């Protein structure tokens, strides 16, 4: 037996498609039809109209996009750009704007705007790399080639 999540990819795609429809049509979120997200990613349903996610952006598992702050009584627009990768368990705080082609590291807590084409990580998140070359879903240049080579070598699979 050799189980891998990849075997259930088709089912995952169907469920996410349904979820996206619920979020967009039911809650009024602004999720681009091409954005992808983990089923455990969490979009703020207290102010769903403040959630914006751009084209070809990926939101990894347990990531949170917040759009309201009870302590200040505010609802804000939180905007994630296009071609971003929002890492697992990260938190994008209310009102933050993540630029296009940016990567948010796993577990990062993002409390200020993220410039386009940068990688941020940490809590609070800091820029750890600038001028990156990220494409769809935040894939860095050469990632496809690396993945193909690694699969061919079968070193890890």
* Residue numbers at the binding site for a copy of itself (CB under 8 A): 1-6, 22, 25-28, 45-50, 58, 60, 64, 66, 70-77, 85, 88-89, 91, 93, 103, 105-109, 111, 121-124, 134, 137-140, 142-147, 150, 156-157
Taking Cα atoms as reference points, which of 149, 148, 117, 114 lies closest to residue 133? 117
Closer to a copy of itself at the Cβ: 32 or 76? 76
Whether the CB-CB separation of 127 and 113 falls below 8 Å is answered with no
d(CA 33, CA 20): 8
Closer to a copy of itself at the Cβ: 14 or 22? 22
Rounded to a whole number of angstroms, the minimum distance from the CB of residue 46 to a copy of itself is 6
Rounded to a whole number of angstroms, the minimum distance from the CB of residue 99 to a copy of itself is 15
Rounded to a whole number of angstroms, the minimum distance from the CB of residue 148 to a copy of itself is 8
Taking Cα atoms as reference points, which of 105, 53, 60, 59 lies closest to residue 77? 53
Rounded to a whole number of angstroms, the minimum distance from the CB of residue 132 to a copy of itself is 9
d(CA 114, CA 126): 9
How many angstroms separate the most distant Cα atoms in the chain?
55
Q: What is the CA radius of gyration of the chain?
A: 16
Closer to a copy of itself at the Cβ: 14 or 146? 146
Burial class of residue 53 in the structure, from the number of CB atoms within 10 Å of its CB (0-12 exposed, 13-18 middle, 19+ buried): buried
Residue with tokens 């933050």: 96
Rounded to a whole number of angstroms, the minimum distance from the CB of residue 33 to a copy of itself is 18
Closer to a copy of itself at the Cβ: 33 or 153? 153
Closer to a copy of itself at the Cβ: 127 or 143? 143
């Amino acid at each position: 037996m050799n189980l891998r999540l990849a075997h259930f990819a088709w089912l995952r795609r169907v469920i996410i498609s349904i979820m996206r429809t619920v979020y967009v049509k039911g809650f009024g979120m602004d999720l681009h039809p091409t954005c992808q997200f983990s089923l455990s990613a969490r979009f703020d349903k207290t102010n769903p109209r403040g959630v914006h996610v751009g084209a070809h952006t990926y939101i990894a598992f347990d990531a949170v996009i917040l759009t309201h702050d009870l302590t200040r009584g505010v609802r804000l627009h939180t905007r994630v750009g296009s071609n971003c990768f929002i890492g697992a368990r990260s938190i994008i705080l209310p009102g933050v704007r993540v630029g296009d082609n940016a990567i948010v590291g796993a577990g990062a807590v993002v409390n200020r705007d993220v410039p386009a084409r940068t990688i941020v990580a940490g809590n609070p998140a800091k820029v750890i790399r600038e001028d990156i070359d990220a494409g769809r879903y935040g894939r860095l240049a050469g990632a496809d080639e690396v993945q193909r080579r690694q699969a061919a070598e079968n070193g890890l699979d």
